[in-house]
Structure 1
Amino acid sequence: MTAATPQETAPTDRRVSARVGSISESATLAVDAKAKALKAAGRPVIGFGAGEPDFPTPDYIVEAAVEACRDPKNHRYTPAGGLPELKAAIAAKTLRDSGYEIEAAQVLVTNGGKQAIYEAFAAILDPGDEVIVPAPYWTTYPESIRLAGGVPVPVVADETTGYRVSVEQLEAARTERTKVVLFVSPSNPTGAVYPREQVEAIGRWAVEHGLWVLTDEIYEHLVYGDAEFSSLPVVVPELRDKCIVVNGVAKTYAMTGWRVGWVIGPKDVIKAATNLQSHATSNVSNVAQRAALTAVSGELDAVAAMREAFDRRRKTIVRMLNEIEGVECPEPEGAFYAYPSVKALLGKEIRGKRPATSVELAGLILEEVEVAVVPGEAFGTPGYLRLSYALGDEDLVEGVARIQKLLAEAR
């Protein structure tokens, strides 16, 4: 037997694993952090980056958390998969809000929607499995897929289709390695909402080819005008055994910082994901779970008031963006984001610079008029900007007016 060479026995010089080292920073959180840092330094920055309601969590939910803090039973470990009362309440809420009938045993309570997404993918993906990801996509989806050993396969839709992918596009992306299709409606970052007939067509295509579907329903209550939310496993019941639903309290109840989400799926998948969570984080904060229990068990008055404000802001931001020459912004039908195309502005001179990408344009906007937006590269589609309209009316108008003034100089 030959001796190993020093090169073969030497430990790797890599300080961070390839798996974790390849993860990109959340672009939306990075933009929000930069905007907040500049604001803290005294600069009048207006931030359109964060995907969170600007409303406080309703008082009755906060009071439930205060009471939970005083109860010693919430000072201890509880089941890793979630408080039994909360899991039952989530099942009841799911039936009430989307018509999807499930059991509490099909629910895993997670530390926010991001953990829900990662654990769902980790529970069903093996190395090399492909996941079809409609783009523009939320920044976390591809990273969660890669962390779980999967391969994200983007399928791009643009403003000409309202940012909605077709069955034909999905079929063109399908290979023998395809295991899952991601479905998100209403969508972050575009605000696109799929009509029921398209939801059904995509669901039946997935059934035909034996694919899993992970559907993110976090914006289920934020739809506007004639748009309607349709839950995929309700529209296509044949999908139930291969469908995973992700949701949470963050958007509906203005509880982004409370970090309570959940996964709904077949019992074997939920059991596997619960086992993973038992080693990763154990149970979600009991105080946050008690607050979430009050939220999901209560009425939807708070989200109705938020939706009215968002609808007003939605119309304002779309009108103002479309007044800018070179900007094309479809009207979003859900969530609280506008996703304008700025491709016609790239390469033009603006204050002595010629931004060639939407990253450079976003940087110029921040530098010149102190408005923070997220470039389309973060969502898999260069040439666009994402602006959240979950901020005050005055800041929204002032921020877009600054952008209007700057981009009017494009030559």
Structure 2
Amino acid sequence: MARLGELAMERVREVPAYRPGKAGTGSAAGKLASNEAPLGPAPGVRAALAGLGSVQRYPEQAELLERLAAHVDVRPDQLVLTNGSDELCSLIAGLFLGPGRIAVLGEPCYQIDASVSVLSGARLRRVPLREGGHDLPAMAEAAQGASVVWLPSPHNPTGVAADPRELAEFLAQVPADCAVVLDEAYRGFADPACRPGIAALLAEYPNLIVQRTLSKDWALAGLRIGYAIAAEPVADALRRVRPPFSVNSAALLAAEAALADPAWWSMSVARTRHERTVLESELDTLGVPFFPSQANFVTAELEYDTVAPALRAAGLSVRPGADLGLPGWVRISIGWAPQMALLRAVLRDALGGRTGSTEAVG
């Protein structure tokens, strides 16, 4: 008889273990490997957490749902709060996938999408990216007979966003009984022209599920709070399979305080977008190909082993592309200005012989 561990490994053999981004060791707090918000949350969030009172009672979500609904311009019954957006991936897989069903993903994909799909017993249809972005016509074709399409935009690990007009054309071609999961974890960093009108899309395509998180642009990664926006029947079904009280009181309190201070959000996002532009300009000068990013990171065609020692010596860390399905590339999270200045200097020294101009990939 097989031992329990062997039975467990048989189920998850195709699920790679998650490798978190490594922290830097320098005084500049140089962790540029996990797409975290360098400036942290708004002062009001810190004050709210410092004043967190008794925690003997279960969390109440109603107030945050009202505030969040107004923020994203939908009804509260179209929202589902989750313990980070990763929990939402598990809920969607549990609800719509299973043995004999099909999930469609880009290749490379956001790894949690593949992991929860495999764990559900579903079969995967992988559609290669095109110039770092989703090949939407090919994904629409792959969606025929499928149960879920996972569609992060801006995509991770490339940062490329789908064109909203092409996204609407894609949704029109997907069968109504196939869920399209539009993961907008990095929406806040995208150009306005790259942000689709979600309320209008949901009204026309009730098989759309929008996935968002407050980890990135709202700087609440350590508190784990995300949410779904969906048609009311789908949202109701997701709430029925979500564990009770999966979002804790501290996360709810911090989210309310964050949404109450949009000026901090605007400032933080603007600085990130500026530093992203400066980094892309530097990479272009050095002749390093990169994907044009709409996220808070830039993915560049650099061998990790070539640049990692120099970065490590400076106390900086970036994410190896091999961890993300992109061997031969690195993903560089956008940090605060002194970190990014140090990063650019290290890259100039490490790649001193590699000069000239190159266009961004795509």
Q: Name the counterpart of 1:62.
A: 46
Report Cα offsets for 1:363-407 as digits up to 9, x if no partner: 342234424322333333333221111x12222122233233324
* Change beyond 3 A, Cα 1:368–1:16: farther
* 1:8-407 paired onto structure 2 within 5 Å: 9=1, 11=3, 14=6, 16-20=8-12, 22-27=14-19, 29=20, 31-32=21-22, 35-36=23-24, 39=25, 46-67=30-51, 69-70=52-53, 72=54, 74-78=55-59, 83-95=61-73, 101-102=74-75, 104-159=76-131, 163-176=132-145, 178-207=146-175, 210-224=177-191, 227-232=193-198, 234-235=200-201, 237-240=203-206, 242-278=207-243, 282-296=245-259, 298-325=260-287, 327-332=288-293, 334-342=294-302, 361-370=303-312, 371-389=316-334, 391-407=335-351
Deviation of the 1:408 alpha carbon: 4.1
CA contact (8 A) 2:154 2:190 kept: yes
The structure-2 alpha-carbon separation of the partners of 1:184 and 1:315, relative to structure 1 and needing over 3 Å to count, comes to: same
Q: How does the TM-score come out when normalised to structure 2?
A: 0.85
Q: Is the 8 A contact 2:28 2:338 kept in 1?
A: no
Give the CA deviation at 1:24: 2.1
Identical pairs, percent: 20
CA RMSD of aligned residues (A): 2.8
Name the SS of the counterpart of 2:174 in structure 1: helix
* Paired AA for residue 150 in structure 2: L
Post-superposition shift, 1:77?
Answer: 2.1
**Higher relative contact order, structure no. (Cα contacts within 8 Å, ≥ 6 residues apart):** 2
SS in 2 for 1:55: coil
| Contact 1:185–1:229 under 8 Å retained in 2 | no
* Cα deviations by residue, 1:65-96 (Å, 9 ceiling, x for unpaired): 333x22x4x42124xxx61222222222220x
Q: Which runs of 4+ in 1 moved over 6 A?
A: 42-45
Q: Is the 8 A contact 1:133 1:153 kept in 2?
A: yes
Distance 1:273 1:50, change over 3 A: same
- The whole-number CA distance in structure 2 between the counterparts of 1:112 and 1:302 is 21
Structure 1 portions without partners, runs of 5+? 1-8, 96-100, 343-360
Deviations 1:219-265 (A, max 9, x none): 222123x633114552363212x121211222232111121111233
- Residues 19 and 364 of structure 1, relative CA distance in 2, 3 Å threshold: farther
Is 1:112–1:248's contact at 8 Å kept on the other side of the alignment? yes
| 8 A Cα contact 1:250 1:260, kept in partner | yes
Which ranges in structure 2 are unaligned for 5 or more consecutive residues?
A: 355-362
Contact in 2 for aligned 1:321/1:404 (Cα 8 Å): no
Shift of 1:305: 0.4
Are the structure 2 counterparts of residues 22 and 277 from structure 1 closer, same or farther at C-alpha, using a change threshold of 3 Å?
same
- Between the aligned partners of 1:89 and 1:65, the Cα distance in structure 2 is 18
* Alpha-carbon distance in 1 for matches of 2:351, 2:29: 17
| Post-superposition offset of 1:321 | 1.4
How far does the alpha carbon of each residue in 1:332-353 deviate from its partner, in whole angstroms, 9 at most, with x for none? 2x221112234xxxxxxxxxxx
Given that 2:300 and 2:329 are in contact with CA atoms closer than 8 Å, whether structure 1 keeps it comes out as yes
**Displacement after TM superposition at 1:21 (Å):** 5.4
Question: Structure 2: which amino acid aligns with 1:214?
Answer: V
CA distance in 2, matches of 1:244, 1:307: 25
Q: Is the 8 A contact 1:49 1:373 kept in 2?
A: yes
Q: SS at 2:322's partner residue?
A: helix
CA distance in 1, matches of 2:344, 2:128: 27
Where 2:247 maps in the other structure, the secondary structure is coil
Distance in 2 of aligned mates of 1:55 and 1:199: 32
**SS state at 1:292 partner:** helix
- Determine if contact 1:203/1:236 at 8 Å carries over to the other structure: no
- Please report the TM-score for the alignment, with normalisation by the length of structure 1: 0.76
Range with bigger deviation, 114-123 or 361-370: 361-370
Matched with 2:358 is none
